[in-house]
Structure 1
């Protein structure tokens, strides 16, 4: 579609072709007469803007009603949607992200405290979220300008149902609808009041979740009003309280723990050898064939408040001296959400109504990480010259070595963990405002009914984050420099990073430890107008259409703390981001009946849709969609769609300034932590300046990320085909009241996908090929360690994925034992390939775990409902198939299940959930419910490559995850 990229005329021509298409249909089927056909009323369909009650679209829609939502026992829309079989990896409360993951390259920040939805494993950025058919504003978490929707900004209490369209829908809804659309329908018609109370906690006695929902509504002949309020509080769970998450990588002890310790790790070249700093042979460097290499620390837990003596008080730094940062992490992050919502409707007459909606929501959440490490020297790999190029004065009163430690001469790395400053605590406050008003109406012209609506909406997410426990690297450098220069600065006192824990005094902390405050916001303003009716009649029925116009304006900004902007922040730094853009769109949708009551079947309908979008940032784009729905017989329907779509680069992706992500990367030129030989070619490693025997001192490498104003829109193609079968022998039979089978094949192709090449893949390809394409952004210190890594956004090559959805619904006849209903949903992923623009294959694929996300080949959810009188019960089974991951440096440990191949198997897992309820006929009804999720207390499979807590938080329940809950709903 590149020829249409900036050509509105060409797009208009294609729209006119769509309008002309019904003439062809008339010529092909002049002999048919219009008759009514039986539709499959058990199949819920959406994904169309045509206002015609009997119209069914060509794509399956998964609908979650309030009963389905309440059955999960969850209190977040995002977490409910993440249990769908077609969902991929997305953020939730189990991600303790701030301070650990750093900044992603898309400029969206870390999304701390948010809950997102991913469909078809294409990423949350490629899912469009609507509320009552209107776009919702993107997230804001005070760390960037987000590209995804935070579903925690929408209270679950206001939801009537959720419709999930798992198909490309850019022609109907515009950008972002590549993987699908989530449409959240709010509660509207409600008479009376309702109070809902819920409480739950985990079997270990922690992670309590409590909430209160209030609803009130009334209606008159001409008006209706609904008011709702919600409060949810989630308590934390600490990683130290679960066996699986107590160490960085389960089964490896301290091997993957940090080299930044409370006692410090000191790597430098000494003037003379000693027992602590022996001579090391460096034959590959003729200028210094033998050097006195120090890699030392002081004994664990030993403090030297009076000053440490060199070399007598020092020992070699070995694995037992590493610091276990994992026990400070959170396994479940705490949050508190408060929301209010109101919706008022007035009917001026039978044909015109006015509505107004307003929402206010506040989320307060917390992430926590271990005390922030201070890395100094060229192999500290922070990317901050204040740390990487530091000079520690020999005159510092706490320096035990008696000479300058100079990054340009003898200093390799210092890692010190100031536990005196406490853990890093990141507190977010996100305020959401939403206002929507419009007119909805209809009118008659002759025998035709016309439906129209005009809408205007404004929404805003504003976030503030306060960070306690980080450091000022500029002040650290001053405090480690010449004491006379430090004395000339008000408040500066020399810093002791050489003693053990407790030797950094409150006066020292007052100089080096600030409170860091960041802010960000996202705003969306939009106006839409839609019109729908019948055009004319064909032999098989009426040709229906919908058309409309939409205007949207996006504005976003990220304002980090001034300390960050001037480059003095010791943590993960970033720079300000701001930008805006707008878009004008028009669309047309047609439903064309091709034949009815034919020898070929009961009915065949063709749908055509096209949308032209004109962006202020990159120009125009036209996206068509074609669909067929063939009702072969009363109980069998075939359907298929083909759609083209796009996703425009967002503010963060376009304008996101340089930021840093601290990633766990394994250098192929390094000896493994378990002593395994380097994976990379010795000759290539030598060419990169890596000496023989090199061992990577710090596996957490700082990677520079950021936006790219030259980005183009992503292009997508989507195809689906399948059938719905409701056999006659399964309806009103002795064994079945209703029996439906739904099978859908899907295929998505995304070209020019906006993302960065996987950093580990880039590093591996650099060592393997020495190609500047991969090595150009990676720099190394003279000692061989990586001290710079640039990994920016680009229009990556192609993402291709396909698979099958297979769903079964079976309603049993009612008997004296009650009524049973079985639903069984399955998703099978057949292919997932991501290939970079230069042909580099990314590691993701079916059955593979990588980068804290997975693509199971098979996910399945089965639910059995039972009702008898006032009693209800449900049993749910959730299955996730086996996965495989690369062991990385953990290959040397028995926890790696297949050491010969360097891979680890994450076994398949099946969770069981149960719920029972009873309704009391008191007032308008009191519903009491008790439930237990993860009945058999299954722990997730151990993940060796995951960043935190030893498991994939986007795929599995937490370790020790048996969760019980109680709920009471009173209507009056």
Structure 2
């Protein structure tokens, strides 16, 4: 299609935005003859429902073409989208999440093995993902009911292009489109066959990724058919293969390692001497002798527990989790005549992924803080044949006798005999859609209509090997007579160090745990678009439609977990459903005719009415201005109101636990640093002087809330697109485009639980019940209960700028060069909690695996000459700052006087070169390297697991080499 210059201004998208009606895919080659007459005159783009010849709208849309996608060398849609400058922190396969992150306070599980997208740092659940204009089903992770889309359920091989709308769009698309919309357009009009082979690995020779894609299509005068099959296999990388990730927090040694050790840590008060012991067996001593009269200058089989005894759990983690994805997709279209055609499409995708955590620790006693009475209120009999202390270890006073007074504080034993915790996920995605699309003439005007139905399902199962049954542990440690009377029970030895837990003991305490979850989505839509009438400045364009959706979701943990016997993170079943009916209307009103004030001024008006079965109705409007000042200059602005309905997990999620890294301001730090909380307030909270924090992880229990209201938002964008005529068809420039966009998002009533660290700090600082309610402490001062629930409590405000340049140089004997330079500058990010308390995340700040760089930039120089092509991409992330916490005394904390650590700015260089052979329809060979300068990610003290921010930087670091062969026939 030949588009005049003033119609090719918006971003790099303009030349590739062809038909993308709801439920329909874009034309990738020339359309069948029956379709040409209508589609060449009017097209539709992401961000508007109106079809018209003017193809750029009031909103900025960024398009990733098939060429852009292949230039990255990546095999996951999520990984590709996370490299956009406007993307924020989101989950991906570099997060070794299961067994470590616990459960999200949103009731959506940990999303193990999934890949998500976040726009404008507003969270992945506030981004709406469409496939061919239709909503995609939310993820199932087998550990909750998710509120986001798992992009790993969509094979990259079926994608023709991806449109990213970085603006609020609830008036057009409904809930979840607060931060923007990702519309994935599938391949359609395809003639012949194609086979693509991919292989890549890291410079260390690990993390291999292999893939094969097969595509085939045919077109006739009345129909077209496309079939595609894809298989991707990504291998794991273990953290112990990389020096920087070989400690729990790099640069601090074992200080922040776990007190759950293979030899065991035992803290108790000896009832015979009154001495409080904190001891661990000497190395190699599997049958230690205990002398109650000794303290830390010991000559028996023990020594006092210290930092060198802590366990380095990071050695068992993964830097890159394995993921095997197999997908099949097909769609068929039949043209009844020039004006009506039908389509049907189907997809099946299976993802098999694995997470691994260190052998599961067993924590017993009041300082364990698990919230499970089998662990916290444990009784260990003196008659247990392996108990070396000669007396009962009791967590809770026995009111009926003076003999059994509480004397146990903590036992931490990590049974390495049982192996690492391995979490295997299998996620099956099924999708089917069908519909009709057509056009007709009425009153000398063209009208377009479509009717669509789609049904989709995600089913997930997670199998957990290496966890323990805490009830059976309690039986095996308790009265031997009770154990003997219980079928299968054998006494357990947690006292003797590694190797003393036998296979027979493991058979009693170590089950296989299986969890399941499922989400389904049914969608019906009907749309119409056309020109209503001619006005003084041009035709009044219109679009309107109806939509009905039904959501169902459920999470079923293993019966062992439901019964409260699971030693790991507890959870309960979740299930729920709701439906929504919606109607929308959109108008494009020309205000001033061409020639009066430039080439034209248009006003767009849109509104959507939504009726939810869970909370009632909602109306969201949107207003936009588009001023074509001249052929060279477009100015545009939008104002939109939006909302996000609470998800099934947020509404109906039962209480679940997350083990979070929290510094208790009332306790002596893990590194021995004194408490920084107000002493009087800590005393009022029941914390004894000198109480020590034994573990950095504190269990926080959260749950859903059926009284939640929708989040509401306001979005504003304003910008310009400038294509100077002096840079068109000259000796130094074939075309030059500039784009500048200002954005502002304001979110109210955010569904969230107050940040746990912030809540604890405010509790200690103020003693206000608003913060202290739900936080309980044991007799030794440690937190043994931390409960909060979701509510509409927060606000988020963010604004910034996008600045992009697109420059195509004239072709010469040396070839043709193109430069694309895209930048996002975040000028404000402010998140407030329930009572206006400032949340820690902000611009230029890193907080617990999440960051908001002030400036992110991607620049690509592309070169083509004859059959050769090459590219050089530079990705820049500005520096970040984080709190050092208890690590302030270590050299890795770069600003100890201020208590902060700087994560230096990173700049990655990616190179690619390719050659096309003129055989069959073409054989394209491509080779590339990402992170060509071999840069390692900066150490992150506040990040969990491996000490890296896996959503901001290239993990595991080092060069990534890849090759691709693409044969068309």
Partner residue in 2 for 1:423:
420
Trace 1:764-913 onto structure 2 (pairs within 5 A): 764-913=761-910
**Residue pair 2:288, 2:302 contacting (<8 A) in 1 also:** no
- With 889-898 and 175-184 compared, the bigger mean Cα shift is at 889-898
Name the SS for the 1:564 alignment partner.
helix
**Residue pair 1:451, 1:533 contacting (<8 A) in 2 also:** yes
**Residue pair 2:218, 2:225 contacting (<8 A) in 1 also:** yes
Query: 1:48-99 CA deviation, whole Å, 9 max, x = no partner?
Result: 0012132431011000001100100000000000000000000111000000
Partner residue in 1 for 2:280:
297
**Residue pair 1:940, 1:957 contacting (<8 A) in 2 also:** yes
Name the SS for the 1:853 alignment partner.
coil
**Residue pair 1:730, 1:736 contacting (<8 A) in 2 also:** yes
**Residue pair 1:40, 1:635 contacting (<8 A) in 2 also:** no
Kindly indicate whether residue 327 of structure 2 is the aligned counterpart of residue 339 of structure 1: yes
**Residue pair 1:308, 1:498 contacting (<8 A) in 2 also:** no
Inter-partner Cα distance in structure 1 for 2:764 and 2:161? 52
Partner residue in 1 for 2:370:
382
Query: 1:597-634 CA deviation, whole Å, 9 max, x = no partner?
Result: 24422110100000000000000000000000001111
Inter-partner Cα distance in structure 2 for 1:413 and 1:308? 19
Inter-partner Cα distance in structure 2 for 1:705 and 1:197? 45
Kindly indicate whether residue 681 of structure 2 is the aligned counterpart of residue 698 of structure 1: no
Kindly indicate whether residue 906 of structure 2 is the aligned counterpart of residue 918 of structure 1: no
Kindly indicate whether residue 525 of structure 2 is the aligned counterpart of residue 528 of structure 1: yes
Deviation at 1:838, TM superposition (A): 1.0
Trace 1:66-215 onto structure 2 (pairs within 5 A): 66-215=66-215
- With 562-571 and 589-598 compared, the bigger mean Cα shift is at 589-598
- CA 1:310–1:521 in structure 2 vs 1: closer, same or farther (change >3 Å)? farther
Deviation at 1:40, TM superposition (A): 3.1
Partner residue in 2 for 1:28:
none
Inter-partner Cα distance in structure 1 for 2:4 and 2:314? 63
Partner residue in 2 for 1:371:
359
Name the SS for the 2:6 alignment partner.
coil
Partner residue in 1 for 2:343:
355
Inter-partner Cα distance in structure 2 for 1:367 and 1:628? 49
What residue ranges of structure 1 are gaps of 5+ in the alignment?
1-35, 274-290
Inter-partner Cα distance in structure 1 for 2:77 and 2:740? 26
Kindly indicate whether residue 6 of structure 2 is the aligned counterpart of residue 39 of structure 1: yes
TM-score (norm 2): 0.94
Query: 1:236-278 CA deviation, whole Å, 9 max, x = no partner?
Result: 00000001110010110000000000000001111244xxxxx
Partner residue in 1 for 2:31:
none
Number of residue pairs the alignment of both structures matches = 918
Inter-partner Cα distance in structure 2 for 1:406 and 1:596? 86
Name the SS for the 2:7 alignment partner.
coil
Partner residue in 1 for 2:394:
406
Trace 1:530-679 onto structure 2 (pairs within 5 A): 530-679=527-676
Partner residue in 2 for 1:237:
237
Name the SS for the 1:753 alignment partner.
strand
Inter-partner Cα distance in structure 2 for 1:527 and 1:197? 37
Deviation at 1:892, TM superposition (A): 1.3
**Residue pair 1:544, 1:590 contacting (<8 A) in 2 also:** yes
Inter-partner Cα distance in structure 1 for 2:133 and 2:681? 56
Inter-partner Cα distance in structure 1 for 2:247 and 2:214? 42
Name the SS for the 2:622 alignment partner.
strand
Deviation at 1:673, TM superposition (A): 2.4
**Residue pair 1:607, 1:628 contacting (<8 A) in 2 also:** yes
Inter-partner Cα distance in structure 1 for 2:4 and 2:507? 78
**Residue pair 2:316, 2:420 contacting (<8 A) in 1 also:** yes
Inter-partner Cα distance in structure 2 for 1:637 and 1:349? 38
Inter-partner Cα distance in structure 2 for 1:557 and 1:357? 26
Inter-partner Cα distance in structure 2 for 1:597 and 1:492? 87
Partner residue in 1 for 2:497:
500
The partner residue of 1:722 within 713, 719, 722 is 719
Deviation at 1:310, TM superposition (A): 4.5
Partner residue in 2 for 1:440:
437
Deviation at 1:703, TM superposition (A): 0.7
Trace 1:215-364 onto structure 2 (pairs within 5 A): 215-273=215-273, 291-300=274-283, 302-304=284-286, 306=287, 308-310=289-291, 312-364=300-352
Name the SS for the 2:851 alignment partner.
strand
Partner residue in 1 for 2:30:
none
Inter-partner Cα distance in structure 2 for 1:639 and 1:357? 36
**Residue pair 1:204, 1:960 contacting (<8 A) in 2 also:** no
Inter-partner Cα distance in structure 1 for 2:861 and 2:904? 25
Name the SS for the 1:849 alignment partner.
coil
Inter-partner Cα distance in structure 2 for 1:371 and 1:345? 53
**Residue pair 1:303, 1:503 contacting (<8 A) in 2 also:** no
Inter-partner Cα distance in structure 2 for 1:472 and 1:524? 36
What residue ranges of structure 2 are gaps of 5+ in the alignment?
15-44, 293-299, 397-405
Inter-partner Cα distance in structure 2 for 1:958 and 1:791? 33
**Residue pair 1:37, 1:597 contacting (<8 A) in 2 also:** no
Inter-partner Cα distance in structure 2 for 1:299 and 1:425? 29
**Residue pair 1:98, 1:426 contacting (<8 A) in 2 also:** yes
Inter-partner Cα distance in structure 1 for 2:675 and 2:634? 58
Deviation at 1:539, TM superposition (A): 1.8
Deviation at 1:108, TM superposition (A): 0.5
**Residue pair 2:8, 2:56 contacting (<8 A) in 1 also:** no
Deviation at 1:829, TM superposition (A): 0.4
Deviation at 1:719, TM superposition (A): 0.2
Name the SS for the 1:848 alignment partner.
coil
Partner residue in 2 for 1:21:
none
Deviation at 1:797, TM superposition (A): 2.4
Query: 1:901-934 CA deviation, whole Å, 9 max, x = no partner?
Result: 1100000010000000000001000000000000
Inter-partner Cα distance in structure 1 for 2:924 and 2:9? 27
Partner residue in 2 for 1:285:
none
Name the SS for the 2:374 alignment partner.
helix
Inter-partner Cα distance in structure 2 for 1:674 and 1:428? 37
Query: 1:562-613 CA deviation, whole Å, 9 max, x = no partner?
Result: 0000000000110000000000000000000111224422110100000000
Inter-partner Cα distance in structure 2 for 1:462 and 1:561? 16
Name the SS for the 1:46 alignment partner.
coil
**Residue pair 1:308, 1:499 contacting (<8 A) in 2 also:** no
Partner residue in 2 for 1:58:
58
Inter-partner Cα distance in structure 1 for 2:408 and 2:836? 39
Deviation at 1:959, TM superposition (A): 3.6
Partner residue in 1 for 2:39:
none
- With 216-225 and 599-608 compared, the bigger mean Cα shift is at 599-608
Inter-partner Cα distance in structure 1 for 2:797 and 2:327? 39
**Residue pair 2:288, 2:301 contacting (<8 A) in 1 also:** no
Inter-partner Cα distance in structure 2 for 1:966 and 1:634? 43
Name the SS for the 1:110 alignment partner.
coil
Name the SS for the 2:74 alignment partner.
coil
The partner residue of 1:748 within 709, 725, 745 is 745
